[in-house]
Amino acid sequence: MRSDPASTGAARRWVEFDAIDNVRDLGGLPVIGGGSTRFGVALRSSTLQQASAADAALLLGSLGLRTLIDLRLPDEVVREGYGLIGALPIDTVNLPIRKSPQSSLAARDLVPDKTRVDLAQLYGALLAGSAEEIVAAARLIADPDRRAVVFHCAAGKDRTGVLAAVLLDAVGVAPEAIAADYALTNERMARVRARLDSLGSYRGLPPADTGILAVDPAVMLSFLGELHREHGGAAAWLLARGLTATQLTLLRRALVTG
């Protein structure tokens, strides 16, 4: 791992792999009222099916991976699979993040035009269409027997970003710190795009920092602002959709230290 110079002040955020380009720990982010998020509990990632044997060993070894949460749509999973990751002794749970429960096609469902997209609007639609899956993911991360947990989509930015934002907001990380974490993907987007462009499901992506591959912290701040205006924040949103108060306490206990 290397030091992270982002404004959050977190260290050791990035995890370096041979063939996976956008993996970072959710630890080290400041929590409102004191403390910070805990390292080694939850990591966000781009797709893992190109992982090397060394990557798999790192996931099982020092990272202690027990549960993989796959946010890709079922069609993506069928087409792209898991590569070496599929043979690991871990629990893989598919919780597709999508705009509606009836959605099934990856690129066409998420963004019909990948070069022109309102990302804040898209994130709101993903939140509205995936309540059951997001609550299920929160329950998994709250469960000590499931950790460490890695969750991922394709680029590790949009669907992964929505879940990361909900988790972090629910435990008291400030919107500015969540947006700074989201923006870190910009450091890896050119590499992520190159890998995705070699896969059948994602060919034809626009240049990095364009359209669906844009990474602007203002987008995340807009999404979080709407989440608070409409629902009172992520904790209230989760509780209204089936997460129990006990599970929310366990989630906070899992993700926050100090």
**pTM of model > 0.75:** yes
pLDDT tens-place string over residues 175-233: 999 999 999 999 999 999 999 999 988 888 899 989 999 999 999 999 999 999 999 99
Check residue 7 and give its pLDDT.
44
For 197, the domain range is: 24-253
pLDDT tens-place string over residues 110-157: 656 677 889 999 999 999 999 999 999 999 999 999 999 999 999 999
Indicate the number of domains in the chain.
1
CATH number of the domain at 67, please.
3.90.190.10
Q: Above 50 in pLDDT, residue 18?
A: yes
Residue 241 counted as domain residue:
yes
Rg (CA), the chain: 17
Residue 15 counted as domain residue:
no
Residue 188 counted as domain residue:
yes
Rounded to the nearest integer, the mean pLDDT of the chain is: 92
User: Which long-range CB contacts under 8 A does 84-90 form with residues at least 24 apart?
Assistant: 84/51, 84/52, 84/53, 84/55, 84/56, 85/48, 85/49, 85/51, 85/56, 85/59, 88/56, 88/59, 88/60, 89/60, 90/59, 90/60, 90/65, 90/66
Residue 59 counted as domain residue:
yes
Residue 148 counted as domain residue:
yes
